[in-house]
Amino acid sequence: MTAKDSKGKEIAKHTRIYMPIPQQLGRGDKMGRGPYEKSGIIRDNGLPPHKPVHEQFEIPFPAEFKDGKTNILDYDMTVEIELMYMPFGDKESGITWHKVTKKVTLEKGGV
Amino acid sequence: MKFLRSIAVTAVLALPLLAGVPGMATAAEEKKAKSIDELAKMYDSSGCKQCHEGIYNDWNQSLHARSIFGTGRTALTVATTVKVGLMGWQYSGVKKPEDVKVKHLMVCFKCHLPQMAEATDDVAREIVKLSIRYGDKATSSEEKDKIEQKLSSININCLICHQRNAIVHKWVDGFPQKNEVYGSKDGTHADSNHAVMKKSPIMSESILCGQCHGLGPNFELENPSQCGTLYGSYLWAYRAEGGQESCQECHMKKSKMGHNMQSYSDINFGKSAVDFQVETLGYIWRDKSKMIPQTLVKVDMTNRAGHSIPDG
């Protein structure tokens, strides 16, 4: 998830990884990476079948806080949420399954 | 890629059983291949194309058709398994690549090349040599192309799923024979090498795929490992929760990919596997007297596949 201000400057970035964490040689607390050393599961953080997974992110708008007052520097934010399959653990070889872009605008004024 | 996990288990278990069954000329009893070319010839399914061209072409697009080469990454992982795994383990018996035997490669090839059980150690060494050579920066692109061609000549083809591994319960359904092919019905088959057509009771069942797409550590090996855990997830997180569809229904029929049966790497198939909804809300939160402008991003995902995504 990436958030940018109205000028396109990145103001937030968060990543969640969904995958099983295989146990190295079926012992201890270390993850095994090579297929030849995987022999257990430490935990499974993959997407389980037919069960909803919810994520929430709270992204602050650029603002200054002084003398008890808030000066909002930008009322617009664009968030891009992308679900990628990364077979080798890097974005370069990743395959985008879903990508959603949303623009968020704060109301001006108010009490 | 992960379609191929525990196939060789059945073959390995079958060996002692077959010894006492006269007339059961199975794949495991055939003369062993001494080279990649011999193994490729032993499991040559190119003749199937003559009558099943569409299916053959679909399969040729699949990762099954290059199960020990993959995108190149699989071959490199074979090399890493030797150099980092086998050569690094004190009791493996492998001090150098030339020491590798068939049994050492079965940690990968139990699924990626189950017919390796019908090859000599010469074939193991040939594969290792080529895999290491492929990963060598000094190797020319022309030589790499030749290695790719050679390593792709042995794979998971028609004769693996429709003959060698078509039967799981051999005491119940009989042992696969070299002159048979297994499908959805009994009869004759217009191929002199495989003149008998038999119905496999599991050709449309997930257990056929589960032979390779794994339950977890392969304990029958001297040094177990797990690559695929997908069938385990299918059994215990999908079927156990009331799911009813088979691997074949989603990966072959609904996807309309037939024997191509892609999964994670196909963008559209991946997209269809996960529902993905995003909501945003901009608002100003008040922390006591402090006004904090922020956006709430809510992401809801539901995996519609019959197994965890990803597996491994």
pLDDT for A68-105, tens place per residue? 899 999 999 999 999 999 988 888 889 999 999 999 99
Q: In this structure, are A30 and A75 located in the same domain?
A: no
Residue of A nearest to B224 (CA): A39
Q: How far apart are CA B204 and CA B126, in angstroms?
A: 35
Size of interface A-B (CB pairs under 8 A): 183
Q: In this structure, are A37 and A77 located in the same domain?
A: no
pLDDT for B132-149, tens place per residue? 999 999 999 999 999 999
pLDDT at B11 over 50: no
Q: In this structure, are A64 and A10 located in the same domain?
A: yes
Q: In this structure, are A41 and A22 located in the same domain?
A: yes
Q: In this structure, are A74 and A44 located in the same domain?
A: no
pLDDT for B62-89, tens place per residue? 999 999 999 999 999 999 999 999 999 9
The helix (run of H) or strand (run of E) holding residue B109 is helix B102-112
Contact assignment for B226 to A39 by CB distance below 8 Å: yes
Q: In this structure, are A47 and A82 located in the same domain?
A: no
What's the pLDDT at B3? 38
pLDDT for B86-132, tens place per residue? 999 999 999 999 999 999 999 999 999 999 999 999 999 999 999 99
Chain A residues touching B224 at Cβ < 8 A: 26, 39
Q: In this structure, are A76 and A96 located in the same domain?
A: yes
pLDDT at B177 over 60: yes
Burial (0-12, 13-18, 19+ Cβ within 10 Å), B30? exposed
Q: In this structure, are A22 and A45 located in the same domain?
A: yes
Taking only residues 7 to 36 of chain B, the set having a beta carbon closer than 8 angstroms to any beta carbon of chain A reads: none
Provide the b/e sequence for B123-136 (b: ≥16 CB within 10 Å): bbbbbbbbbbbbbe
What are the tokens at B142? Answer: 């022309």
pLDDT for B150-161, tens place per residue? 999 999 999 999
The residue to which tokens 């990364």 are assigned: A86
In terms of residue numbers, what domain contains A47? 17-51
pLDDT for B220-278, tens place per residue? 999 999 988 999 999 999 999 999 999 999 999 999 999 999 888 888 999 999 999 99
Q: In this structure, are A43 and A65 located in the same domain?
A: no
Q: How far apart are CA B276 and CA A59, in angstroms?
A: 20
Chain B residues touching A13 at Cβ < 8 A: none
Q: In this structure, are A75 and A42 located in the same domain?
A: no
pLDDT at B7 over 80: no
Q: In this structure, are A63 and A111 located in the same domain?
A: yes
Mean pLDDT, chain B, rounded, equals 90
Please indicate if any CB of chain B lies within 8 Å of the CB of A22: yes
Q: In this structure, are A65 and A103 located in the same domain?
A: yes
Chain B residues touching A36 at Cβ < 8 A: 80-81, 84-86, 107-108, 225
Number of domains in chain A: 2
- Provide the ipTM: 0.94
**Residue A76, φ and ψ in degrees, nearest 5:** -120, 145
Its sign, for the CA torsion B251, B253, B258, B259, is: positive
What's the pLDDT at B51? 96
